[in-house]
Structure 1
Amino acid sequence: MIVSLSSVLLLGALLALMLRNRHLGPGGATIAALFGFCLASTGAAPTINDALQSLADSLSRIG
């Protein structure tokens, strides 16, 4: 858990830096995919899935 949490923080910081500098090429896409993969293995995954599901349900009711 400690390794995945530190990798999530590192990849998240790199991704935020790339987004801020508007430098998102193939390397940025790789970092974004790795960030998502690492984030999915943390304890935050169920909370994120629930939030995205509620957002999708709300949007489907609007449209």
Structure 2
Amino acid sequence: MELSAVLTAAPEGGYVAFNPETGTTTQGETVEEALANLREAAELYLEEFPAIITTRPFLTTFEVAPHAS
């Protein structure tokens, strides 16, 4: 089963990894570690809450007005 991963750089270093299909989130010092941790978290989630995932999330970007100081 192929799932999605959204990775963002963490302010304290490393990466935060999020899987939108299961809602699992984890982190790691490297992209590889974050993905490995996310894979494990998603597998554990799906063992407890089996799901039939038929669609993939649509990822895009958008802009917001800058915050006035």
- Scaled by the length of structure 2, the TM-score of the pair is 0.34
**Higher normalized contact order (CA 8 Å, seq sep 6+, divided by chain length):** 1
* Greater per-residue helix proportion: 1
- Scaled by the length of structure 1, the TM-score of the pair is 0.36
* Greater per-residue strand proportion: 2
